[in-house]
């Protein structure tokens, strides 16, 4: 008779304090960004009523007045299969940095870059066209890794300008084994690594890019050896089986911002993590546990974010394939904030994961129990941003 396995899901829990939030206080960031975007839209509307004061718009993509940003229902996320790496090798949300200084965890290259406090959330502001910095990683980037940038784009669209660019290594290469990825709100392109700007240029619908102006954009990269995928929010931009991306100890980032109002660019979070090769059930059988940080929540909330769907689907598939499995879902946090509040929130989030598995994937409720653990069982010391990021996690443990 097959042995019964119990799974303990040590659940990713981010608390209301920006230092411990999975996205660094994105609710505050999004609220602030929406205000800025609304102000810019009002200004544009006023100009449109007075053509004599409106500059030529021949180079601006046409957009129907009724168009809105893409909805984020379950169907929109069907092609979203990003699962963040489980071993954090670099992380910053700038919460530990001093306002007015450059971010301590990054390496400065050039241009106008400083940490600012925007509506109570610290972030890195780029106010020059050639702002450049490096993301350091220990040793070199592994063969399987994920790279995440959370950025706030300018509220004004600039056609033909790539506002965010990154490449492995410390210098511009764009060679056969070194791809440079360029992003703007209306699309992306790749130069090098076997791709050219002509063959890799991907544009998005007007409604999608409009929804990014002045808003938080999640730029996410998943690499498995030469296999490359890139996502912007819920949209998968690339699915390339072979791309040369240089494995180096530095990742070069160029931001083309400006001091002009509505043209500043902000980075709110950077995360680099190594991905394990283990499949969930195989990891349980071989090592007794499997860790993930791909179940996400809004700051201070217990609702599961739609970005969590790939991990939830993997858990549900494993449960369906192995009918003798039962699971205990545990919520775990870092140690920032009130311990009692962390415990309560972690309990609510554990219950939310169970609800999602039952309602969205048809798992029987009697196979799942839940428990919140708060910050009582850290996986790493809470003394660094990387450690706290690692502690906001999901682990599947064989019992």
The pLDDT tens digits of the residues spanning 139-169 come to 999 999 999 999 998 888 766 667 899 999 9
Q: Please determine, for residue 179, whether its predicted confidence score (pLDDT) is greater than 90.
A: yes
Q: Please determine, for residue 117, whether its predicted confidence score (pLDDT) is greater than 90.
A: yes
At 303 the three-state DSSP class reads coil
Same domain, 299 and 220: no
What pLDDT shows up at residue 74? Answer: 58
Residue 7's pLDDT band (cuts 50, 70, 90): very low
| Cα gap 336→22, rounded to integer Å | 12
Residue 267, Ramachandran bin (φ over 0: left; ψ between -120 and 50: alpha; else beta):
beta
What pLDDT shows up at residue 2? Answer: 42
| Cα gap 55→112, rounded to integer Å | 28
Question: Could you please report the per-residue DSSP string of 192-248?
Answer: BTTB-HHHH-EE--HHHHHTTTTSEEEEEEEEETTEEEEEETTEEEEEES-------
Sole residue written with tokens 């060679």: 175
Same domain, 136 and 195: yes
81 lies in some domain: no
Same domain, 307 and 376: yes
What pLDDT shows up at residue 33? Answer: 47
Per-residue pLDDT tens over the stretch 78-92? 789 998 988 899 999
Q: Please determine, for residue 114, whether its predicted confidence score (pLDDT) is greater than 90.
A: yes
Same domain, 255 and 369: no
Q: Please determine, for residue 94, whether its predicted confidence score (pLDDT) is greater than 80.
A: yes
Q: Please determine, for residue 9, whether its predicted confidence score (pLDDT) is greater than 70.
A: no
Contact 166, 254 (CB under 8 A): yes
Q: Please determine, for residue 17, whether its predicted confidence score (pLDDT) is greater than 70.
A: no
Q: In the listed set 274, 305, 327, which residue is the last one of a domain according to the structure?
A: 274
Contact 378, 389 (CB under 8 A): no
Cα-based distances in Å from 274 to 45, 139, 269, 382: 46, 12, 17, 19
Per-residue pLDDT tens over the stretch 233-256? 989 999 999 999 999 999 999 998
Residue 273's pLDDT band (cuts 50, 70, 90): very high
Q: In the listed set 213, 241, 274, which residue is the last one of a domain according to the structure?
A: 274
Same domain, 126 and 194: yes
What is the percent of the chain where pLDDT is above 70? 77
Same domain, 326 and 390: yes
Same domain, 100 and 231: yes
Same domain, 126 and 253: yes
Same domain, 16 and 94: no
Could you tell me the CATH number of the domain that includes residue 14? 3.30.1330.60
Give the residue numbers spanning the domain of 190. Answer: 88-274
What pLDDT shows up at residue 203? Answer: 93
Contact 99, 117 (CB under 8 A): yes
What pLDDT shows up at residue 390? Answer: 85
What is the pLDDT averaged over residues 202-209?
90
Residue 3's pLDDT band (cuts 50, 70, 90): very low
Mean pLDDT of the chain: 80
Q: Please determine, for residue 278, whether its predicted confidence score (pLDDT) is greater than 70.
A: no
| Cα gap 384→212, rounded to integer Å | 31
What pLDDT shows up at residue 172? Answer: 96
163 lies in some domain: yes
299 lies in some domain: yes
What pLDDT shows up at residue 158? Answer: 66
What is the pLDDT averaged over residues 368-396?
85
Q: In the listed set 248, 274, 300, which residue is the last one of a domain according to the structure?
A: 274
Residue 369's pLDDT band (cuts 50, 70, 90): confident
Which is more confidently placed, 277 or 315? Answer: 315
Residue 286's pLDDT band (cuts 50, 70, 90): confident
Which is more confidently placed, 276 or 266? Answer: 266
Same domain, 258 and 333: no
What pLDDT shows up at residue 40? Answer: 43
Per-residue pLDDT tens over the stretch 26-80? 455 455 445 544 444 444 444 333 433 332 222 222 222 223 333 445 567 878 9
123 lies in some domain: yes
pTM of the full structure? 0.79
What pLDDT shows up at residue 31? Answer: 54
Could you tell me the CATH number of the domain that includes residue 188? 2.60.120.560
């Amino acid at each position: 008779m097959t042995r019964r396995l119990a799974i303990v899901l040590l659940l990713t829990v981010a608390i209301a304090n920006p230092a411990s939030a999975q996205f660094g206080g994105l609710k505050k960031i999004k609220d602030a960004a929406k205000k800025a975007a609304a102000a810019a839209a009002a200004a544009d509307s006023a100009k449109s009523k007075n053509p004599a004061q409106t500059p030529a718009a021949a180079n601006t993509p046409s957009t129907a007045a009724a168009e809105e940003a893409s909805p984020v229902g379950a169907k929109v996320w069907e092609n979203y299969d990003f699962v963040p790496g489980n071993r954090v090798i670099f992380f910053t949300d700038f919460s530990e940095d001093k306002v007015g200084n450059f971010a301590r965890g990054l390496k400065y290259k050039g241009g106008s870059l400083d940490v600012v406090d925007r509506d109570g959330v610290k972030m890195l502001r780029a106010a020059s066209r050639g702002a450049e910095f490096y993301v350091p990683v220990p040793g070199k980037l592994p063969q399987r890794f994920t790279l995440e940038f959370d950025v706030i784009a300018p509220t004004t669209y600039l056609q033909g300008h790539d506002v965010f660019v990154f490449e492995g290594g410390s210098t511009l290469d764009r060679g056969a084994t070194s791809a440079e990825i360029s992003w703007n709100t209306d699309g992306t392109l790749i130069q090098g690594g076997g791709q050219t700007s002509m063959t890799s240029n991907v544009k998005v619908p007007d409604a999608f890019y409009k929804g990014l102006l002045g808003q938080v954009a999640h730029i996410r990269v998943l690499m498995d050896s030469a296999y490359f995928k890139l996502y912007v929010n819920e949209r998968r931009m690339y699915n390339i089986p072979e791309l040369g991306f240089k494995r180096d100890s530095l990742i070069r980032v160029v931001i083309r911002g400006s001091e002009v109002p509505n043209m500043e660019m902000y980075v709110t979070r950077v995360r680099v993590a190594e991905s394990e090769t283990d499949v969930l059930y195989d990891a349980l059988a071989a090592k007794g546990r499997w860790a993930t940080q791909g179940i996400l929540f809004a700051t201070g909330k217990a609702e599961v974010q739609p970005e969590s769907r790939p991990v939830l689907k993997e858990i549900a598939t494993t449960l369906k394939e192995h009918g003798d499995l039962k699971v205990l879902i545990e919520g775990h946090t870092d140690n920032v904030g009130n311990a009692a509040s962390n415990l309560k929130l972690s309990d609510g989030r554990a219950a939310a994961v169970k609800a999602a598995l039952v309602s969205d994937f048809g798992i029987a409720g009697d196979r799942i129990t839940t428990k919140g653990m708060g910050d009582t069982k850290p996986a790493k010391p809470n003394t660094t941003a990387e450690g706290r990021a690692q502690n906001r996690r999901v682990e599947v443990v064989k019992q």
